Amino acid sequence: MSSIDLVILTGLSGSGKSTVAKCFEDLGYYVVDNLPMPLLGELLQDPRAFAGGVEKMAIVTDVRAPGFAARLPSLYRSIDRHTLRVTLLFLESSTETLVRRFSESRRPHPLSQTLSVSAAIEEEREMLAELRGLADMVFDTSKWTVHETRAKVYHAFGERGGQGAEMQVSLISFGFKYGIPVGSDLMFDVRFLPNPYFDLELRPLTGRDEPIQRFLQAQSDFPELVDRLADLLIYLLPRYQAENRSYLSVAIGCTGGKHRSVAMVENLHRRLAEAGWKAKVEHRDIER
């Protein structure tokens, strides 16, 4: 019977557990946040009853759960390592950093009902001292940016040579007359190319159709632009991947989003596939 990969993610409030949990989601883990102690105990005793077909799971648990500090150490020691490949990941930060983060976010510390923020942090640190001592890995996020935190998680838990989940690349054709796609990372304007719209026989067709492709391929600028944009993207994509980007959206626009931009996206999709990059194609305005 194969084991389940389980990460128990815990640590000081404000140390970045939400950010790290999202990294595990990107890595294909099934993430459960703030599971009550009784349910966590049942899961650790019989993980397959809870996990179903899940092979990788990350559980976020902290002082929000009643009985957390007292029960989690004993639960962790009782785990059957034959059914679970378990890692206890503990996050911490300096008191100064945590005070600043709570001040910036204006969120209350879970233990600050009767204490100052700094006193609550120190009390929580003391409560979790035993748990920290049991941790398989400790991340001190005091000086890490969000990008550095992602890189550390991907390096420690990723399955692709220290990289994170494969970056999702989207190629989107659109018409400027209908507005720029929201969230575009890179955008290119191909309206300088001759427009098939002004040929009455070509007007009803789209950039996916062979006559439009032949029309554009006959213009010297079109194949050259395909080559230049493809080379640029093939150069850029691994560099974005190295920065642990989860998504990259490349938008190609013409006037109406039906002919030139569609043809360009189709050609770029083919070129990226030849270079080993998977990309999703969206022709936003092709039916308008």
The predicted model scores a pTM of 0.61
Lowest mean pLDDT, pick from 28-32, 124-128, 246-250, 274-278: 246-250
Q: Say how many Å lie between the first and final Cα of the chain, rounded.
A: 54
User: What does the alpha-carbon distance between residue 266 and residue 197 come to, in Å, rounded to a whole number?
Assistant: 18
User: What does the alpha-carbon distance between residue 219 and residue 229 come to, in Å, rounded to a whole number?
Assistant: 16
The overall longest dimension of the chain from CA atoms, in Å, is: 77
Cα–Cα distances in angstroms (integers) from residue 11 to residues 21, 134, 141, 167, in the given order: 12, 12, 11, 29
Q: Reduce the DSSP state of residue 104 to 3 states and report it.
A: helix
The pLDDT tens digits for 99-149 are 999 888 888 888 888 789 899 999 999 999 999 999 989 999 998 888 888
Exposed e or buried b per residue across 196-210, where buried means at least 16 C-beta atoms within 10 angstroms of its C-beta? beeeeebeebbbbbe
User: What residue type is assigned to position 206 of the chain?
Assistant: T
User: What does the alpha-carbon distance between residue 129 and residue 110 come to, in Å, rounded to a whole number?
Assistant: 17
Per-residue pLDDT at 166: 66
Mean pLDDT calculated for residue range 8-14: 93
The pLDDT tens digits for 205-222 are 999 999 999 999 999 999
Handedness of CA 226, 232, 238, 240 (dihedral sign): negative
Rg, Å, the chain Cα set: 26
**Is residue 17 within 8 Å of 9, Cβ to Cβ?**
yes
Domains identified in the chain and CATH numbers: 4-157 (3.40.50.300), 168-283 (no CATH)
- 89 pLDDT higher than 50: yes
User: What does the alpha-carbon distance between residue 31 and residue 7 come to, in Å, rounded to a whole number?
Assistant: 9
% of the chain at pLDDT higher than 90: 54
**Which string of DSSP letters, residue by residue, matches 26-78?**
HTT-EEEES--HHHHHHHHHSHHHHHTT--EEEEE--TTSTTHHHHHHHHHHT
User: What residue type is assigned to position 117 of the chain?
Assistant: V
Task: For residue 65, count other CB atoms closer than 10 A to its CB.
Answer: 19
Structure tokens at 30: 């099934």
- 74 pLDDT higher than 80: yes
